[in-house]
């Protein structure tokens, strides 16, 4: 009977499923609209869910196959608690269920990449194998090597003059260097993105709910993490870095410094700001916007550079950053295919479409790799062949 407890459900697996998605017993109980004690009994083995409750747990709460709950023990799986060891326990506990699901999806993409590309990264030169970063070396010199490896000159960067194009070009350069870039609209808005290191298929995963300029900075920040051979997860609020333990704080500040120096090289910045008033706080909004446009970054990033040079105060920086943050309201929408294409790695999407075109994988397999329905594949294929978005 559906209202009777299901036999064979493993308490240890129930607890594993809950913990690997970052939920407490109380949160699970709230989602099921039952007392917390009932969920605690399931995990203690003194009770069991009904079939209807188990279905809700599997498909709505934990997003797991129903059969997994009858396994004798939890399956081996990479979990965020071990993946992001540089994050304090409090930060791990602050991650929402959606963020845990995004990290799980990124791991699924790594498995798909391995299958689609036959275990071999298609890049001619994998940047993390030819270039590594060190916390003890010059930031500016290392950033110059990163820019050189990506093959983007300052003149080329200045010619973009458009946030969308800038993001697309930085993303393309990083993908050509062997790192696959995926995006999703995180419900936990303060998360900028994260990266997962892998010997063959490292991934950068960006929060598409943030501005294009923020995504560009996050892209370079996560790249720095990968070139340090470590996973990373970053947040929009730079203030959280100050609360990190000393070693982790040093890493995050270093990755921020590398991203800033790659995007806004000191030499070029100093030349361009020479014309600002001695009291940079009196500079016009247009001056900040022009500098930001030249480098394809946010006005806040420009102001941060001036703060580092001692040309504006911390109070002024925080005041302007708060105002500009409130002003940022990027338009959303567009076609389904354009949105899906934006979320997926362009190189991955093209390979899946190409393999289906060459009859190497079925329509159902291609759709599964891309996370779309088979009936949507034809439209998505046309979008990919005509160029994906940023």
Same domain assignment for residues 280 and 140: no
Q: What is the reported pLDDT for 37?
A: 97
Same domain assignment for residues 122 and 73: no
88 falls within a domain: no
Give residue 211's domain range.
95-263
Same domain assignment for residues 51 and 169: no
The three-state (H, E, C) secondary structure of the chain, written as one string: CCCCECCCCCHHHHHHHHHCCCCCHHHHHHHHCCCHHHHHHHHHCCCCCEHHHHHHHHHHHCCCCHHHHHCCCCCCCCCHHHHCCCCCHHHHHHCCHHHHHHHHHHHHHHHHHHHHCCCCCCCCCCHHHHCCCCCCCCHHHHHHHHHHHHCCCHHHHHHHCCHHHHHHHHHHHHHHCCCEEEEECCCCCCEEEEEECCCCCCEEEEECCCCHHHHHHHHHHHHHHHHCCCCEEEECCHHHHHHCCHHHHHHHHHHHHHHHHHHCCHHHHHHHHCCCCCCHHHCCHHHHHHHHHHHCCCHHHHHHHHHHCCCCCHHHHHHHHHHHHHHCCCCCCCCHHHHHHHHCCHHHHHHHHHHHHCCCCCHHHHHHHHCCCHHHHHHHHHHHHCCCCC
Same domain assignment for residues 252 and 323: no
Rg (C-alpha) for the chain, rounded Å, is 23
Question: Where does a domain end: 25, 45, 77?
Answer: 77
Closest to 184 measured CA to CA, from 251, 248, 99: 99
Question: Where does a domain end: 210, 240, 263?
Answer: 263
Same domain assignment for residues 315 and 166: no
List the pLDDT tens digit at each of the 390 positions of the chain.
557 889 999 999 999 999 999 999 999 999 999 999 999 999 999 999 999 999 999 999 999 999 999 999 999 887 776 677 666 666 777 889 999 999 999 999 999 999 999 999 999 999 999 999 999 999 999 999 999 999 999 999 989 878 889 999 999 999 999 999 999 999 998 899 999 999 999 999 999 988 898 899 999 999 999 999 999 998 877 677 877 888 888 999 999 999 999 999 999 999 999 889 888 999 999 999 999 888 888 888 899 889 888 899 989 988 988 888 777 555 444 556 666 778 899 999 999 999 998 999 999 999 999 988 888 888 888 877 776 555
CB 100 within 8 A of CB 22: yes
Same domain assignment for residues 63 and 117: no
274 falls within a domain: yes
Closest to 236 measured CA to CA, from 258, 221, 251: 221
Q: Which residues of 72-96 are buried (b: 16+ CB within 10 A; e: fewer)?
A: eebeeeebbbebbebbeeebbebbb
Length reported for the chain? 390
Phi, psi of 234 (to 5 degrees): -120, 155
- Rounded to whole angstroms, the Cα distance separating 145 from 325 reads 31
Same domain assignment for residues 211 and 254: yes
Q: What is the reported pLDDT for 90?
A: 67
- Rounded to whole angstroms, the Cα distance separating 287 from 273 reads 9
Q: What is the reported pLDDT for 143?
A: 97
- For tokens 């607890």, the residue is 15
- Beta strand 203-207 with 180-184: parallel, antiparallel or unpaired? parallel
Same domain assignment for residues 68 and 208: no
Q: What is the reported pLDDT for 52?
A: 93
Number of structural domains in the chain: 4
103 falls within a domain: yes
390 falls within a domain: no
175 falls within a domain: yes
Same domain assignment for residues 247 and 167: yes
Same domain assignment for residues 186 and 214: yes
Closest to 345 measured CA to CA, from 180, 109, 117: 180
Same domain assignment for residues 313 and 348: no
72 falls within a domain: yes
16 falls within a domain: yes
Question: Where does a domain end: 210, 229, 263?
Answer: 263
CB 283 within 8 A of CB 272: no
84 falls within a domain: no
CA 231 centroid distance within chain: 11
- Beta strand 191-196 with 203-207: parallel, antiparallel or unpaired? antiparallel
- Looking at the DSSP bridge assignments, the partners of residue 148 are none
Q: What is the reported pLDDT for 278?
A: 84
Same domain assignment for residues 33 and 167: no
């Amino acid at each position: 009977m559906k209202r009777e407890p299901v036999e064979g459900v493993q308490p240890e697996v129930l607890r594993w499923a809950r913990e690997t998605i970052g939920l407490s017993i109380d949160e699970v109980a709230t989602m099921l609209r039952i007392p917390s004690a009932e969920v605690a009994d399931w995990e203690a083995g003194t009770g069991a869910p009904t079939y209807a409750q188990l279905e809700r747990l599997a498909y709505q709460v934990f997003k797991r196959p129903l059969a997994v709950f009858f396994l004798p023990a939890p399956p081996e799986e990479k979990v965020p608690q071990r993946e992001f060891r540089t994050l304090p326990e409090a930060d791990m506990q602050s991650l929402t269920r959606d963020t845990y699901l995004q990290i799980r999806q990124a791991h699924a993409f790594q498995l798909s990449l391995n299958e689609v590309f036959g275990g071999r990264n298609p890049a001619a030169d994998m940047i993390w194998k030819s270039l590594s970063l060190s916390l003890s070396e010059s930031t500016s010199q290392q950033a110059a090597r990163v820019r050189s490896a990506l093959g983007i000159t300052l003149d080329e960067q200045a010619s973009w003059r458009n946030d969308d194009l800038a993001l697309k070009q930085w993303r393309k350069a990083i993908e050509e260097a062997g790192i696959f870039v995926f995006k999703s609209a995180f419900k936990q808005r303060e998360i900028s993105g994260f990266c997962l290191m892998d010997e063959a298929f490292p991934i950068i995963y960006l929060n598409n709910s943030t501005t294009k300029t923020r995504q560009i900075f996050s892209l370079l920040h996560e790249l720095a993490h990968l070139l340090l051979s470590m996973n990373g997860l970053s947040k929009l609020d730079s203030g959280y870095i100050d609360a990190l333990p000393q070693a982790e704080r040093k890493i995050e500040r270093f990755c921020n410094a590398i991203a800033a120096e790659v995007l806004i090289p000191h030499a070029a910045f100093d030349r361009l700001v020479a014309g600002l008033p001695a009291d940079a706080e009196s500079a016009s909004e247009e001056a900040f916007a022009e500098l930001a446009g030249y480098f394809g970054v946010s006005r806040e990033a420009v102001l941060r550079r001036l703060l580092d040079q001692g040309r504006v105060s911390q109070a002024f920086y925080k005041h302007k950053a708060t105002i500009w943050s409130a002003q940022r309201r990027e338009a959303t929408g567009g076609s389904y295919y354009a949105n899906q294409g934006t979320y997926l790695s362009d190189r991955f999407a093209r390979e899946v479409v190409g393999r289906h075109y060459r009859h190497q994988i079925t329509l159902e397999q291609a759709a599964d790799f891309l996370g779309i329905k088979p009936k949507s594949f034809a439209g998505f294929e046309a979008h990919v062949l005509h160029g994906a978005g940023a």
